[in-house]
Amino acid sequence: MLPDRFALQPAGSTRAATTAIAALLPDHDQGFRALLARALAEAPDLAVAAARIDAARAGLREAGAALLPQVDASGQAAQQRISAAQFGGLPGSIRIDPTQGRFSTSVDARWDPDLFGRLRVARRASAARLDAANADAAAVRLALITDLASAVTDLRTIDRRSALLTDDLAEAASFSALTRQRAHAGLAAEADLVPALALEEHVRSRLAGLAAERAGVLGRLVTLTGLPATTVLADLAKDDRDAAFAPPLAQPLAISTAALLERPDVRAAERRLAAADAEIAAIAAERYPRFDLTAGLGLIALALGDLFTEQAVIGSVGASLSAPLLDFGRIGARLRQREAAGAEAFATYRKTVFVALGETEAALGSLAAAARSASALNRQAALDRDSADLAEARYRQGLIGFLDVIKARRASLTSRELALVGDADVQRRRIALYRAAGGTSTVPARSASLR
């Protein structure tokens, strides 16, 4: 089903170890680590997943208990009043006590030896459901980690862009003041002040837009972590705003296609397919006879004082055999339902595998492209900054007009912002690859749910 290697795997890549996969996350960011630790303990989505695991584990215990004997204890005390008239005419020498009592206690056992495996395959289905619930929890955990990493990356990027714009705003304000002084001194035209002020207001509007974006990202972090905004901000303050971008990888990663089968969502789909197969076998086993063993031991007496005597002891041992004789297709209909569910589970599993394959191909290709783009954007930003400095120097020498200076400064500001966005895009693509590859989360082996 899976190819030998990914088509978009970079040349010269090496097999990805768990430590290399983990390096795709911004783990060097103290704020991210602090928020992640809190989120893994407090996030509502993980609490939901844990509750589902508990429910599946209880179902497995119930299925396992069905293989063991069922032992019941009971006790009874009754008293009734009868009339001698109900016996017809009795000789005068025979007297009947109109008040009679009955006291009994017993312990009864019933066991199905499961000769045809109906209960065993039902337990196997429950075990597979528990495995699927564990895999679902791992998938939720993976989604939480990557969503949180992306949100922290977005917030750090906004902070870096805001810092850049704040510095540029100070420069623009200084430039406007200088232009005003030059205009008053007759060294520059009054018209030159208008584009300088326009640049200043342009930077202010960009800062206001980033503040709105930051509020949205902060709301995402509150939702993901289940923490108040003040706590989120306090954790994020543990690191500087430059810490969000991980250092480049020493060499490209090569992810094995077979490793995708251990992705939590793929694992969950495979375990649901196994559960569906076991449920088909359990329904099919209902066509075979059912054999039950029963045993009982008790005490019975007409007077409470005689209950614990040797004469009051009773007991029984028995066996029963039952089989469907004429059910008018009920079992067959249920079997066809489970077979259809099994076909659906197989189709879902196959789809999930190819979704994982497609996501990983896309993540590998987009990461390589984003890295090339970010490198070019950073080179462009450096060149545009030099160009802006050169334009300002030439303006002071009277070689170019003021509008050329404003255009150069705007181009420099835009390219530096784009360089920051490009660096952030590389980090987001790395996070996407971490998620597509299944991260480093471990899913319990299926044998664990059979213990």
Digits of tens for pLDDT over the chain (451 positions)?
Answer: 677 777 777 665 555 555 578 888 888 888 999 999 988 888 888 888 889 899 999 999 988 898 888 899 988 888 777 765 655 665 666 666 667 778 888 898 998 888 888 899 999 999 999 999 999 999 999 999 999 999 999 999 999 999 998 888 887 787 777 777 776 766 666 667 777 788 888 888 989 999 999 999 999 999 998 889 999 999 988 765 555 466 666 556 667 788 888 899 999 999 999 999 999 999 999 889 998 999 988 888 877 777 788 788 888 899 998 888 888 889 999 999 999 999 999 999 999 999 999 999 999 999 989 999 999 999 999 999 999 889 888 877 878 877 888 888 889 989 999 999 999 999 999 999 999 989 875 555 554 444 3
Backbone angle region of 398, left / alpha / beta, with phi > 0 → left and psi within -120 to 50 → alpha: left
Instruction: Tell me how far apart the alpha carbons of residues 230 and 210 are, in angstroms, rounded to a whole number.
Output: 19
193 touches 183 (CB < 8 A): yes
Helical packing angle, 193-225 and 118-184, nearest 10° = 160
The CA distance from 359 to 353, in Å, is 10
Q: What is the DSSP letter of 298?
A: E
Q: Where do the structural domains in the chain lie, given as residue ranges?
A: 14-67+119-289+339-450
Cα–chain center distance at 265: 9
Q: Quick one: which H or E segment has residue 397? A: none
The conformation of residue 323, written as its DSSP 8-state character, comes to -
Residue 213's alpha-carbon distances to 127, 158, 159, in angstroms, are 46, 8, 10
pTM of the full predicted structure?
A: 0.81
Region of 88 on the Ramachandran plot (φ > 0 left; ψ -120 to 50 alpha; else beta): left
* Sign of the dihedral through C-alpha 95, 101, 105, 108: positive
Distance CA 52, CA 91 (A): 73
Q: 3-state SS of the chain: helix, strand, coil percent to 5?
A: 65, 10, 20
Asked if 267 contacts 261 with a C-beta cutoff of 8 angstroms, the reply is yes
Cβ–Cβ contacts within 10 Å for residue 382, how many?
14
The continuous run of DSSP H or E covering 138 comes out as helix 118-184
| Burial group, residue 212, by CB count within 10 angstroms (0-12, 13-18, 19+) | exposed
Q: Architecture of 14-67+119-289+339-450 per CATH?
A: Up-down Bundle (1.20)
| End-to-end Cα spacing for the chain | 31
- Rounded to whole angstroms, the Cα distance separating 438 from 431 reads 11
